[in-house]
Amino acid sequence: MIPSNFQRGARSGRRNLPLPLVIAGGIGALILVVFAWVALTMGRAPEAEPVTADVPVRL
């Protein structure tokens, strides 16, 4: 089903990395990028809002 020249060309082109390792690395990098974007966007949002204390303060 897989041609023999495809396997030879893939191994001679670059470093031979296992496919599950490449997939896991790609998923891990994607999760890291999404987590960094969420941390940057969600981390800046509360700074613009006024901070209110739960305990009432007598003036």
Output the six-digit token pair for 24. 């896991």
Residues shown for the chain: 59
pLDDT at residue number 56: 72
> Cβ contacts of residue 10 below 8 Å, gap of 6+?
16
Instruction: Tell me the pLDDT tens digit for each residue of 12-49.
Output: 556 677 899 999 999 999 999 999 999 888 766 555 55
Query: Mean pLDDT over residues 2-6, rounded?
Result: 56
